[in-house]
Chain A
Protein backbone atom coordinates (compact mmCIF):
# COMPACT_ATOMS: atom_id res chain seq x y z
CA UNK A 1 0.00 0.00 0.00
CA UNK A 2 2.75 2.47 0.91
CA UNK A 3 4.10 2.21 -2.63
CA UNK A 4 1.01 3.95 -3.94
CA UNK A 5 0.14 6.44 -1.21
CA UNK A 6 -0.47 9.82 -2.86
CA UNK A 7 2.81 11.66 -3.43
CA UNK A 8 3.26 15.40 -2.91
CA UNK A 9 2.42 16.36 -6.49
CA UNK A 10 -0.91 14.56 -6.62
CA UNK A 11 -1.77 15.72 -3.09
CA UNK A 12 -1.16 19.29 -4.15
CA UNK A 13 -3.36 18.93 -7.23
CA UNK A 14 -6.09 17.13 -5.26
CA UNK A 15 -6.10 19.85 -2.61
CA UNK A 16 -6.52 22.47 -5.31
CA UNK A 17 -9.40 20.44 -6.77
CA UNK A 18 -11.02 20.08 -3.35
CA UNK A 19 -10.84 23.85 -2.83
CA UNK A 20 -12.25 24.37 -6.32
CA UNK A 21 -15.17 22.08 -5.47
CA UNK A 22 -16.05 23.92 -2.26
CA UNK A 23 -15.28 27.46 -3.45
CA UNK A 24 -18.63 28.48 -4.97
CA UNK A 25 -20.52 27.04 -2.00
CA UNK A 26 -18.48 29.19 0.35
CA UNK A 27 -18.66 32.31 -1.83
CA UNK A 28 -22.45 32.60 -1.45
CA UNK A 29 -22.17 33.02 2.32
CA UNK A 30 -20.66 36.56 2.40
CA UNK A 31 -22.83 37.64 -0.54
CA UNK A 32 -25.98 36.70 1.39
CA UNK A 33 -25.10 39.25 4.08
CA UNK A 34 -24.54 42.18 1.75
CA UNK A 35 -26.55 45.30 2.62
CA UNK A 36 -26.74 46.22 -1.08
CA UNK A 37 -29.63 45.55 -3.40
CA UNK A 38 -27.44 43.83 -5.99
CA UNK A 39 -24.97 40.95 -5.99
CA UNK A 40 -21.88 42.23 -4.19
CA UNK A 41 -19.47 41.51 -1.37
CA UNK A 42 -20.39 43.31 1.85
CA UNK A 43 -17.86 45.97 2.79
CA UNK A 44 -17.95 46.89 6.46
CA UNK A 45 -21.58 46.43 7.47
CA UNK A 46 -23.45 43.15 7.31
CA UNK A 47 -27.17 42.91 6.83
CA UNK A 48 -29.88 40.28 7.21
CA UNK A 49 -32.24 42.08 4.85
CA UNK A 50 -32.07 39.32 2.23
CA UNK A 51 -33.04 36.71 4.79
CA UNK A 52 -35.83 39.02 5.90
CA UNK A 53 -36.94 39.26 2.27
CA UNK A 54 -37.39 35.49 2.18
CA UNK A 55 -39.96 35.82 4.97
CA UNK A 56 -41.58 39.07 3.83
CA UNK A 57 -42.09 38.07 0.21
CA UNK A 58 -44.83 35.40 0.22
CA UNK A 59 -43.62 34.08 -3.17
CA UNK A 60 -40.72 32.25 -1.49
CA UNK A 61 -42.88 30.45 1.05
CA UNK A 62 -45.43 29.50 -1.58
CA UNK A 63 -42.83 28.10 -3.93
CA UNK A 64 -41.22 26.11 -1.10
CA UNK A 65 -44.58 24.55 -0.22
CA UNK A 66 -45.26 23.80 -3.87
CA UNK A 67 -41.83 22.18 -4.33
CA UNK A 68 -42.38 20.08 -1.20
CA UNK A 69 -45.76 18.89 -2.45
CA UNK A 70 -44.45 18.07 -5.93
CA UNK A 71 -41.30 16.46 -4.53
CA UNK A 72 -43.15 14.17 -2.12
CA UNK A 73 -45.81 13.07 -4.61
CA UNK A 74 -43.41 12.49 -7.52
CA UNK A 75 -40.99 10.67 -5.23
CA UNK A 76 -43.79 8.34 -4.05
CA UNK A 77 -44.86 7.64 -7.63
CA UNK A 78 -41.29 7.05 -8.82
CA UNK A 79 -40.35 4.84 -5.88
CA UNK A 80 -43.51 2.73 -6.17
CA UNK A 81 -43.10 2.20 -9.92
CA UNK A 82 -39.38 1.50 -9.57
CA UNK A 83 -39.91 -0.98 -6.72
CA UNK A 84 -42.51 -2.96 -8.67
CA UNK A 85 -40.30 -2.96 -11.74
CA UNK A 86 -37.25 -4.04 -9.73
CA UNK A 87 -39.19 -6.85 -8.08
CA UNK A 88 -40.42 -8.02 -11.48
CA UNK A 89 -36.90 -8.08 -12.89
CA UNK A 90 -35.43 -9.79 -9.83
CA UNK A 91 -38.12 -12.40 -9.20
CA UNK A 92 -38.88 -13.44 -12.77
CA UNK A 93 -35.59 -12.65 -14.51
CA UNK A 94 -37.38 -12.06 -17.82
CA UNK A 95 -35.56 -12.90 -21.00
CA UNK A 96 -34.97 -9.32 -22.11
CA UNK A 97 -34.00 -7.90 -18.71
CA UNK A 98 -31.10 -5.85 -20.06
CA UNK A 99 -33.26 -4.36 -22.78
CA UNK A 100 -36.07 -3.54 -20.35
CA UNK A 101 -33.67 -1.89 -17.93
CA UNK A 102 -32.08 0.06 -20.76
CA UNK A 103 -35.49 1.27 -21.85
CA UNK A 104 -36.39 2.41 -18.35
CA UNK A 105 -33.11 4.34 -18.05
CA UNK A 106 -33.81 6.40 -21.19
CA UNK A 107 -34.69 9.67 -19.43
CA UNK A 108 -31.34 9.44 -17.65
CA UNK A 109 -29.28 9.08 -20.81
CA UNK A 110 -31.15 11.41 -23.14
CA UNK A 111 -29.87 15.02 -22.84
CA UNK A 112 -31.99 16.95 -20.32
CA UNK A 113 -32.98 19.53 -22.90
CA UNK A 114 -34.45 16.84 -25.15
CA UNK A 115 -36.39 15.42 -22.20
CA UNK A 116 -37.59 18.94 -21.48
CA UNK A 117 -38.77 19.38 -25.05
CA UNK A 118 -40.48 15.97 -24.96
CA UNK A 119 -42.31 16.73 -21.72
CA UNK A 120 -43.24 20.16 -23.06
CA UNK A 121 -44.91 18.36 -25.96
CA UNK A 122 -46.68 16.03 -23.52
CA UNK A 123 -47.94 18.91 -21.37
CA UNK A 124 -49.28 20.94 -24.29
CA UNK A 125 -51.00 17.80 -25.58
CA UNK A 126 -52.54 17.07 -22.16
CA UNK A 127 -53.62 20.69 -21.72
CA UNK A 128 -55.68 20.53 -24.87
CA UNK A 129 -58.24 18.28 -23.20
CA UNK A 130 -58.05 18.83 -19.44
CA UNK A 131 -57.26 21.58 -16.95
CA UNK A 132 -55.72 19.48 -14.20
CA UNK A 133 -52.65 17.80 -15.56
CA UNK A 134 -50.89 19.80 -18.22
CA UNK A 135 -48.84 22.85 -18.99
CA UNK A 136 -48.18 25.09 -15.98
CA UNK A 137 -50.12 22.95 -13.46
CA UNK A 138 -48.66 21.41 -10.31
CA UNK A 139 -49.86 17.93 -11.25
CA UNK A 140 -48.24 18.35 -14.66
CA UNK A 141 -44.94 19.22 -13.00
CA UNK A 142 -45.35 16.22 -10.69
CA UNK A 143 -45.89 13.91 -13.65
CA UNK A 144 -42.88 15.32 -15.51
CA UNK A 145 -40.66 15.03 -12.44
CA UNK A 146 -41.78 11.44 -11.89
CA UNK A 147 -40.68 10.63 -15.45
CA UNK A 148 -37.27 12.23 -14.90
CA UNK A 149 -36.47 10.72 -11.49
CA UNK A 150 -37.77 7.18 -11.95
CA UNK A 151 -34.56 5.94 -13.67
CA UNK A 152 -32.49 6.98 -10.64
CA UNK A 153 -34.88 5.14 -8.32
CA UNK A 154 -34.68 2.06 -10.57
CA UNK A 155 -30.88 2.03 -10.46
CA UNK A 156 -30.77 2.30 -6.66
CA UNK A 157 -33.41 -0.37 -6.15
CA UNK A 158 -31.77 -2.78 -8.59
CA UNK A 159 -28.42 -2.27 -6.85
CA UNK A 160 -30.13 -3.12 -3.53
CA UNK A 161 -31.89 -6.16 -5.03
CA UNK A 162 -28.72 -7.63 -6.50
CA UNK A 163 -27.23 -7.73 -3.01
CA UNK A 164 -30.09 -9.90 -1.71
CA UNK A 165 -29.24 -13.57 -1.26
CA UNK A 166 -31.45 -15.53 -3.64
CA UNK A 167 -31.47 -18.53 -1.32
CA UNK A 168 -33.72 -16.86 1.25
CA UNK A 169 -36.30 -16.30 -1.46
CA UNK A 170 -35.89 -19.90 -2.64
CA UNK A 171 -36.38 -21.10 0.94
CA UNK A 172 -39.58 -19.07 1.29
CA UNK A 173 -40.79 -20.44 -2.01
CA UNK A 174 -39.93 -24.00 -0.98
CA UNK A 175 -41.94 -23.51 2.20
CA UNK A 176 -44.95 -22.58 0.10
CA UNK A 177 -44.98 -18.78 0.31
CA UNK A 178 -46.98 -17.17 -2.49
CA UNK A 179 -45.87 -14.23 -4.57
CA UNK A 180 -47.29 -11.54 -2.29
CA UNK A 181 -45.76 -13.11 0.81
CA UNK A 182 -42.38 -13.40 -0.90
CA UNK A 183 -42.51 -9.79 -2.07
CA UNK A 184 -43.82 -8.15 1.09
CA UNK A 185 -42.40 -10.34 3.85
CA UNK A 186 -39.12 -11.53 2.32
CA UNK A 187 -37.76 -9.30 -0.40
CA UNK A 188 -39.00 -5.82 0.45
CA UNK A 189 -37.80 -6.01 4.10
CA UNK A 190 -34.39 -6.93 2.71
CA UNK A 191 -34.20 -3.91 0.41
CA UNK A 192 -35.97 -1.40 2.63
CA UNK A 193 -32.82 0.66 2.98
CA UNK A 194 -32.43 0.78 -0.81
CA UNK A 195 -36.06 1.83 -1.17
CA UNK A 196 -35.62 4.58 1.41
CA UNK A 197 -32.48 5.85 -0.36
CA UNK A 198 -34.32 5.80 -3.69
CA UNK A 199 -37.21 7.78 -2.20
CA UNK A 200 -34.84 10.32 -0.68
CA UNK A 201 -32.82 10.78 -3.87
CA UNK A 202 -36.04 11.03 -5.90
CA UNK A 203 -37.32 13.75 -3.62
CA UNK A 204 -34.05 15.70 -3.80
CA UNK A 205 -33.91 15.42 -7.59
CA UNK A 206 -37.48 16.70 -7.91
CA UNK A 207 -36.87 19.42 -5.32
CA UNK A 208 -33.98 20.84 -7.34
CA UNK A 209 -35.22 20.07 -10.86
CA UNK A 210 -35.03 23.11 -13.14
CA UNK A 211 -34.30 22.08 -16.75
CA UNK A 212 -37.63 20.41 -17.42
CA UNK A 213 -39.61 22.64 -15.05
CA UNK A 214 -38.49 25.67 -17.01
CA UNK A 215 -40.08 24.30 -20.17
CA UNK A 216 -43.41 23.31 -18.67
CA UNK A 217 -44.30 26.17 -16.33
CA UNK A 218 -44.92 29.88 -16.79
CA UNK A 219 -46.82 31.75 -14.05
CA UNK A 220 -48.86 29.33 -11.94
CA UNK A 221 -46.66 26.39 -10.99
CA UNK A 222 -43.62 28.30 -9.71
CA UNK A 223 -41.40 25.85 -7.87
CA UNK A 224 -38.49 27.04 -5.75
CA UNK A 225 -35.82 26.49 -8.47
CA UNK A 226 -38.13 28.22 -10.95
CA UNK A 227 -38.40 31.23 -8.66
CA UNK A 228 -34.62 31.27 -8.17
CA UNK A 229 -34.15 31.13 -11.92
CA UNK A 230 -36.37 34.17 -12.37
CA UNK A 231 -34.18 36.15 -9.98
CA UNK A 232 -30.96 34.97 -11.61
CA UNK A 233 -31.28 35.92 -15.21
CA UNK A 234 -31.08 39.70 -15.40
CA UNK A 235 -30.61 41.71 -12.23
CA UNK A 236 -29.36 39.21 -9.71
CA UNK A 237 -31.39 39.31 -6.53
CA UNK A 238 -29.19 38.67 -3.45
CA UNK A 239 -32.18 36.95 -1.81
CA UNK A 240 -31.00 34.01 -3.93
CA UNK A 241 -27.77 34.01 -1.95
CA UNK A 242 -29.79 33.78 1.26
CA UNK A 243 -31.93 30.89 0.02
CA UNK A 244 -28.79 29.19 -1.37
CA UNK A 245 -27.08 29.36 2.01
CA UNK A 246 -30.15 27.77 3.60
CA UNK A 247 -30.23 25.02 0.94
CA UNK A 248 -26.52 24.30 1.35
CA UNK A 249 -26.91 24.02 5.12
CA UNK A 250 -29.92 21.69 4.80
CA UNK A 251 -28.10 19.53 2.23
CA UNK A 252 -25.06 19.28 4.50
CA UNK A 253 -27.29 18.18 7.39
CA UNK A 254 -29.08 15.53 5.29
CA UNK A 255 -25.73 14.28 3.97
CA UNK A 256 -24.30 14.04 7.47
CA UNK A 257 -27.44 12.13 8.50
CA UNK A 258 -26.99 9.72 5.60
CA UNK A 259 -23.32 9.14 6.37
CA UNK A 260 -24.29 8.55 10.02
CA UNK A 261 -26.89 5.92 9.02
CA UNK A 262 -24.47 4.32 6.56
CA UNK A 263 -21.87 4.02 9.25
CA UNK A 264 -24.28 2.62 11.81
CA UNK A 265 -25.49 0.11 9.29
CA UNK A 266 -22.00 -1.15 8.52
CA UNK A 267 -21.09 -1.37 12.21
CA UNK A 268 -24.34 -3.01 13.30
CA UNK A 269 -25.98 -4.94 10.46
CA UNK A 270 -29.34 -6.04 11.76
Chain B
Protein backbone atom coordinates (compact mmCIF):
# COMPACT_ATOMS: atom_id res chain seq x y z
CA UNK B 1 0.00 0.00 0.00
CA UNK B 2 2.77 2.41 0.88
CA UNK B 3 4.49 1.76 -2.41
CA UNK B 4 1.31 2.49 -4.26
CA UNK B 5 0.71 5.78 -2.50
CA UNK B 6 4.25 6.95 -3.31
CA UNK B 7 3.63 6.13 -6.95
CA UNK B 8 0.40 8.09 -6.75
CA UNK B 9 2.14 11.16 -5.31
CA UNK B 10 4.92 10.90 -7.83
CA UNK B 11 2.36 10.91 -10.61
CA UNK B 12 0.52 13.78 -8.98
CA UNK B 13 3.62 15.96 -9.23
CA UNK B 14 5.02 14.83 -12.56
CA UNK B 15 1.88 14.20 -14.56
CA UNK B 16 0.43 17.73 -14.95
CA UNK B 17 3.32 19.07 -17.01
CA UNK B 18 3.77 15.85 -18.98
CA UNK B 19 0.06 15.78 -19.79
CA UNK B 20 0.02 19.48 -20.60
CA UNK B 21 2.87 19.23 -23.10
CA UNK B 22 1.64 15.91 -24.42
CA UNK B 23 -1.79 17.31 -25.23
CA UNK B 24 -0.83 20.84 -26.22
CA UNK B 25 2.40 20.06 -28.07
CA UNK B 26 3.05 16.46 -29.03
CA UNK B 27 -0.46 15.59 -30.22
CA UNK B 28 -0.78 18.73 -32.36
CA UNK B 29 2.67 18.04 -33.81
CA UNK B 30 1.39 14.64 -34.91
CA UNK B 31 -1.43 16.56 -36.54
CA UNK B 32 1.13 18.61 -38.47
CA UNK B 33 2.84 15.40 -39.54
CA UNK B 34 -0.52 14.18 -40.80
CA UNK B 35 -1.05 17.39 -42.75
CA UNK B 36 2.24 16.80 -44.52
CA UNK B 37 0.93 13.50 -45.87
CA UNK B 38 -2.68 14.47 -46.55
CA UNK B 39 -2.72 18.04 -47.84
CA UNK B 40 -3.82 18.68 -50.48
CA UNK B 41 -4.06 14.97 -51.27
CA UNK B 42 -2.97 11.79 -49.54
CA UNK B 43 0.55 10.67 -50.40
CA UNK B 44 4.16 11.69 -50.47
CA UNK B 45 3.54 14.51 -52.94
CA UNK B 46 4.78 17.27 -50.63
CA UNK B 47 8.03 15.47 -49.89
CA UNK B 48 8.57 14.93 -53.59
CA UNK B 49 7.98 18.66 -54.08
CA UNK B 50 10.64 19.40 -51.46
CA UNK B 51 13.17 17.44 -53.49
CA UNK B 52 12.26 18.83 -56.89
CA UNK B 53 10.85 22.35 -56.52
CA UNK B 54 13.72 24.71 -57.47
CA UNK B 55 12.30 27.54 -55.33
CA UNK B 56 12.23 25.38 -52.21
CA UNK B 57 15.72 24.12 -52.95
CA UNK B 58 17.14 27.58 -53.41
CA UNK B 59 15.63 28.55 -50.04
CA UNK B 60 17.20 25.49 -48.38
CA UNK B 61 20.61 26.24 -49.88
CA UNK B 62 20.40 29.90 -48.90
CA UNK B 63 19.39 28.90 -45.35
CA UNK B 64 22.35 26.52 -45.02
CA UNK B 65 24.76 29.11 -46.41
CA UNK B 66 23.50 31.85 -44.08
CA UNK B 67 23.55 29.49 -41.08
CA UNK B 68 27.15 28.46 -41.73
CA UNK B 69 28.36 32.03 -42.19
CA UNK B 70 26.47 33.17 -39.08
CA UNK B 71 27.79 30.27 -37.00
CA UNK B 72 31.39 31.06 -37.96
CA UNK B 73 30.93 34.79 -37.30
CA UNK B 74 29.25 34.15 -33.95
CA UNK B 75 31.95 31.74 -32.74
CA UNK B 76 34.81 34.16 -33.41
CA UNK B 77 33.08 37.20 -31.91
CA UNK B 78 31.64 35.30 -28.94
CA UNK B 79 35.05 33.78 -28.18
CA UNK B 80 36.71 37.18 -27.98
CA UNK B 81 34.13 38.71 -25.65
CA UNK B 82 33.82 35.54 -23.57
CA UNK B 83 37.59 35.60 -23.05
CA UNK B 84 37.43 39.13 -21.65
CA UNK B 85 34.34 38.23 -19.59
CA UNK B 86 36.15 35.28 -17.98
CA UNK B 87 39.75 36.41 -17.76
CA UNK B 88 39.71 40.20 -17.89
CA UNK B 89 40.26 42.62 -15.01
CA UNK B 90 37.22 43.18 -12.83
CA UNK B 91 36.20 46.33 -14.71
CA UNK B 92 36.62 44.58 -18.06
CA UNK B 93 34.56 41.67 -16.77
CA UNK B 94 31.71 43.94 -15.67
CA UNK B 95 31.65 45.83 -18.98
CA UNK B 96 31.68 42.58 -20.95
CA UNK B 97 28.86 41.14 -18.85
CA UNK B 98 26.79 44.27 -19.39
CA UNK B 99 27.30 44.18 -23.16
CA UNK B 100 26.37 40.49 -23.28
CA UNK B 101 23.32 40.55 -21.01
CA UNK B 102 21.58 43.74 -22.08
CA UNK B 103 20.99 42.67 -25.70
CA UNK B 104 20.22 39.13 -24.49
CA UNK B 105 17.23 40.38 -22.53
CA UNK B 106 15.89 42.66 -25.24
CA UNK B 107 13.33 41.23 -27.60
CA UNK B 108 14.27 39.93 -31.01
CA UNK B 109 11.84 42.38 -32.56
CA UNK B 110 13.39 45.43 -30.92
CA UNK B 111 16.84 44.26 -31.92
CA UNK B 112 15.84 43.68 -35.53
CA UNK B 113 14.31 47.14 -35.55
CA UNK B 114 17.52 48.54 -34.08
CA UNK B 115 19.42 47.09 -37.00
CA UNK B 116 16.95 48.66 -39.42
CA UNK B 117 17.58 52.00 -37.73
CA UNK B 118 21.28 51.35 -38.11
CA UNK B 119 21.46 49.95 -41.65
CA UNK B 120 18.51 51.15 -43.71
CA UNK B 121 18.83 53.79 -46.41
CA UNK B 122 17.92 56.62 -44.06
CA UNK B 123 19.53 54.93 -41.06
CA UNK B 124 22.45 55.94 -38.92
CA UNK B 125 25.29 54.62 -41.08
CA UNK B 126 24.04 55.87 -44.43
CA UNK B 127 23.08 59.27 -43.02
CA UNK B 128 26.54 59.73 -41.55
CA UNK B 129 28.39 58.54 -44.59
CA UNK B 130 26.32 60.80 -46.84
CA UNK B 131 26.61 63.90 -44.67
CA UNK B 132 30.35 63.31 -44.44
CA UNK B 133 30.39 63.27 -48.22
CA UNK B 134 31.95 59.81 -48.43
CA UNK B 135 29.12 58.37 -50.48
CA UNK B 136 26.42 60.02 -52.58
CA UNK B 137 23.93 57.15 -52.81
CA UNK B 138 22.96 55.08 -49.75
CA UNK B 139 24.56 51.66 -49.40
CA UNK B 140 22.11 48.74 -49.46
CA UNK B 141 22.89 47.31 -46.02
CA UNK B 142 19.45 46.09 -44.98
CA UNK B 143 16.66 44.36 -46.88
CA UNK B 144 19.19 41.88 -48.22
CA UNK B 145 21.29 38.91 -47.16
CA UNK B 146 23.97 41.07 -45.55
CA UNK B 147 21.39 42.59 -43.22
CA UNK B 148 20.09 39.13 -42.30
CA UNK B 149 23.59 37.90 -41.47
CA UNK B 150 24.38 40.96 -39.34
CA UNK B 151 21.08 40.75 -37.45
CA UNK B 152 21.31 37.00 -36.81
CA UNK B 153 24.93 37.20 -35.69
CA UNK B 154 23.95 39.90 -33.23
CA UNK B 155 21.05 37.88 -31.90
CA UNK B 156 23.02 34.67 -31.41
CA UNK B 157 26.27 35.91 -29.84
CA UNK B 158 25.00 35.67 -26.22
CA UNK B 159 23.83 32.09 -26.77
CA UNK B 160 27.37 31.13 -27.82
CA UNK B 161 29.06 33.13 -25.07
CA UNK B 162 27.53 31.05 -22.26
CA UNK B 163 28.88 27.60 -23.21
CA UNK B 164 32.25 29.04 -24.33
CA UNK B 165 32.65 30.99 -21.08
CA UNK B 166 31.74 27.94 -19.04
CA UNK B 167 34.43 25.90 -20.84
CA UNK B 168 36.96 28.69 -20.24
CA UNK B 169 36.11 28.83 -16.53
CA UNK B 170 36.76 25.13 -16.08
CA UNK B 171 40.32 25.29 -17.42
CA UNK B 172 42.88 24.29 -14.81
CA UNK B 173 45.08 27.33 -14.21
CA UNK B 174 48.11 25.10 -13.50
CA UNK B 175 48.18 23.85 -17.08
CA UNK B 176 48.66 27.41 -18.31
CA UNK B 177 51.30 28.04 -15.65
CA UNK B 178 53.14 24.89 -16.68
CA UNK B 179 53.19 26.02 -20.31
CA UNK B 180 54.51 29.37 -19.22
CA UNK B 181 57.10 27.79 -16.95
CA UNK B 182 58.43 25.86 -19.90
CA UNK B 183 58.95 29.09 -21.78
CA UNK B 184 55.97 29.23 -24.15
CA UNK B 185 55.02 32.72 -25.35
CA UNK B 186 51.58 34.15 -24.59
CA UNK B 187 50.46 33.70 -28.18
CA UNK B 188 51.67 30.13 -28.21
CA UNK B 189 49.92 29.32 -24.90
CA UNK B 190 46.69 30.80 -26.24
CA UNK B 191 46.67 28.85 -29.50
CA UNK B 192 48.19 25.53 -28.46
CA UNK B 193 46.97 25.19 -24.86
CA UNK B 194 44.05 27.49 -24.09
CA UNK B 195 41.99 27.20 -27.27
CA UNK B 196 42.19 23.39 -27.55
CA UNK B 197 40.97 23.11 -23.95
CA UNK B 198 37.80 24.98 -24.93
CA UNK B 199 36.92 22.85 -27.96
CA UNK B 200 34.06 21.23 -26.00
CA UNK B 201 32.46 24.60 -25.33
CA UNK B 202 33.06 25.70 -28.91
CA UNK B 203 31.35 22.63 -30.33
CA UNK B 204 28.41 23.05 -27.97
CA UNK B 205 28.16 26.72 -28.92
CA UNK B 206 28.36 25.93 -32.63
CA UNK B 207 25.57 23.41 -32.26
CA UNK B 208 23.28 25.75 -30.34
CA UNK B 209 23.88 28.60 -32.78
CA UNK B 210 23.41 26.46 -35.85
CA UNK B 211 20.19 24.89 -34.58
CA UNK B 212 18.75 28.24 -33.53
CA UNK B 213 19.79 29.86 -36.80
CA UNK B 214 18.12 27.14 -38.84
CA UNK B 215 14.68 27.86 -37.43
CA UNK B 216 15.10 31.61 -37.39
CA UNK B 217 12.15 33.60 -38.49
CA UNK B 218 11.77 37.14 -37.22
CA UNK B 219 15.17 38.61 -38.06
CA UNK B 220 15.32 37.32 -41.66
CA UNK B 221 11.73 38.39 -42.26
CA UNK B 222 12.44 41.96 -41.13
CA UNK B 223 16.03 42.49 -42.25
CA UNK B 224 15.72 40.38 -45.39
CA UNK B 225 12.71 42.39 -46.53
CA UNK B 226 11.22 39.43 -48.39
CA UNK B 227 14.22 39.22 -50.70
CA UNK B 228 16.28 36.72 -48.81
CA UNK B 229 13.71 34.20 -47.62
CA UNK B 230 14.91 31.47 -45.27
CA UNK B 231 13.24 28.15 -44.51
CA UNK B 232 11.26 29.37 -41.50
CA UNK B 233 9.86 32.32 -43.40
CA UNK B 234 8.98 30.00 -46.26
CA UNK B 235 6.81 27.98 -43.87
CA UNK B 236 5.05 31.17 -42.82
CA UNK B 237 4.50 32.26 -46.41
CA UNK B 238 3.17 28.83 -47.38
CA UNK B 239 0.58 29.00 -44.64
CA UNK B 240 -0.55 32.61 -44.74
CA UNK B 241 0.12 33.87 -48.26
CA UNK B 242 -0.19 31.02 -50.71
CA UNK B 243 -2.17 28.58 -48.61
CA UNK B 244 -0.22 25.38 -49.07
CA UNK B 245 -0.37 23.90 -45.58
CA UNK B 246 0.93 20.54 -46.74
CA UNK B 247 4.24 21.96 -47.92
CA UNK B 248 4.63 24.07 -44.77
CA UNK B 249 3.97 20.96 -42.70
CA UNK B 250 6.40 18.85 -44.73
CA UNK B 251 9.16 21.46 -44.27
CA UNK B 252 8.45 21.44 -40.51
CA UNK B 253 8.77 17.67 -40.36
CA UNK B 254 12.05 17.70 -42.30
CA UNK B 255 13.43 20.43 -40.01
CA UNK B 256 12.57 18.42 -36.89
CA UNK B 257 14.13 15.25 -38.31
CA UNK B 258 17.27 17.12 -39.35
CA UNK B 259 17.72 18.79 -35.98
CA UNK B 260 16.87 15.58 -34.12
CA UNK B 261 19.61 13.76 -36.03
CA UNK B 262 22.07 16.59 -35.41
CA UNK B 263 21.34 16.63 -31.67
CA UNK B 264 21.53 12.84 -31.41
CA UNK B 265 24.97 12.94 -33.03
CA UNK B 266 26.22 15.66 -30.71
CA UNK B 267 24.40 14.61 -27.56
CA UNK B 268 27.31 14.66 -25.17
CA UNK B 269 28.06 18.33 -25.81
CA UNK B 270 24.61 19.60 -24.88
CA UNK B 271 23.95 21.00 -21.42
CA UNK B 272 20.49 22.59 -21.20
CA UNK B 273 21.52 24.82 -18.28
CA UNK B 274 23.91 26.61 -20.61
CA UNK B 275 21.11 27.86 -22.77
CA UNK B 276 20.14 30.40 -20.14
CA UNK B 277 22.36 33.12 -18.72
Contact = CB atoms under 8 A, between A and B. Distances in A.
Co-complex (A, B): yes
A114 B20 CA distance: 18
A113 B276 contact: no
Contacts of B248: 117
> Quick one: which of B26, B194, B276 has the most chain A CB within 10 A?
B276
Interface in A140-192: 143, 146-147, 150, 152, 154-156, 158-159, 179
Interface of B: 6, 9-10, 13-14, 16-18, 20-21, 24-29, 31-32, 35, 77-78, 80-81, 83-84, 87-89, 92, 95-96, 99-103, 105-118, 120, 122-124, 127, 154, 157, 173, 176-177, 180, 186-187, 189-190, 194, 211, 214-218, 221-222, 231-232, 235-236, 239, 248-249, 252, 255-256, 259, 263, 272-273, 275-276
Contact of A111 (B25, B78, B118, B214): B214
> Quick one: which of A31, A113, A143 has the most chain B CB within 10 A?
A113
> Quick one: which of A40, A118, A120, A255 has the most chain B CB within 10 A?
A118
A28 B211 contact: no
A76 interface: no
A81 B87 contact: no
Interface string A67-102: 000000000000001101101110110100000110
A18 B95 contact: yes
A104 B102 CA distance: 28
A59 interface: no
A89 B273 CA distance: 16
A88 B10 contact: yes
Contacts of A4: 87, 176, 186, 189-190, 194
Interface of A: 1, 3-7, 10-11, 13-14, 17-18, 20-25, 27-28, 30-31, 38-41, 43, 81-82, 84-85, 87-89, 91-92, 94, 100-101, 103-122, 125, 143, 146-147, 150, 152, 154-156, 158-159, 179, 201, 204, 207-208, 210-211, 214-215, 225, 228-229, 232-233, 236, 240-241, 244, 247-248, 251-252, 254-255
- The list of the 6 closest CB pairs from A to B, nearest first, reads A111-B215, A24-B114, A88-B13, A208-B107, A113-B232, A88-B14
Given A3-B180, A5-B88, A159-B273, A27 B117 contact: yes
Contacts of A244: 110, 113-114
Contacts of A43: 127
A interface: dominant SS:
helix
Nearest to B20: A81
A150 B17 contact: yes
Contacts of B113: 24, 28, 228, 232, 236, 240-241, 244
Nearest to B95: A18
A39 B116 contact: yes
A101 B272 CA distance: 10
Given A118-B25, A215-B236, 10 more contacts: A27-B117, A39-B117, A88-B14, A92-B9, A92-B13, A111-B255, A114-B29, A114-B256, A150-B17, A244-B113
Given A18-B95, A251-B105, A28 B117 contact: yes
A155 B162 CA distance: 15
A91 B114 contact: no
Contact of A41 (B21, B27, B122, B177): B122
B122 A38 contact: yes
15 contacts: A1-B87, A3-B180, A3-B186, A11-B92, A14-B84, A21-B157, A24-B115, A27-B123, A40-B122, A92-B9, A101-B272, A109-B211, A118-B31, A248-B106, A251-B102
B21 A106 contact: yes
Given A110-B259, A143-B24, A14 B81 contact: yes
A254 B111 CA distance: 18
A117 B252 contact: yes
> Quick one: which of A18, A103, A147 has the most chain B CB within 10 A?
A18
> Quick one: which of A6, A39, A91, A106 has the most chain B CB within 10 A?
A6
B16 A22 contact: no
A94 B109 contact: no
B117 A31 contact: yes
Contacts of A121: 28-29, 31-32, 35
A17 B232 CA distance: 27
A107 to B, nearest CB: 6
> Quick one: which of A111, A121, A152, A247 has the most chain B CB within 10 A?
A111
Contact of B87 (A5, A13, A40, A210): A5
B116 A236 contact: yes
A24 B99 CA distance: 12
B215 A112 contact: yes
Contacts of A3: 176-177, 180, 186, 189
Contacts of A240: 113
Contacts of B231: 113
Contact of B105 (A101, A241, A255): A255
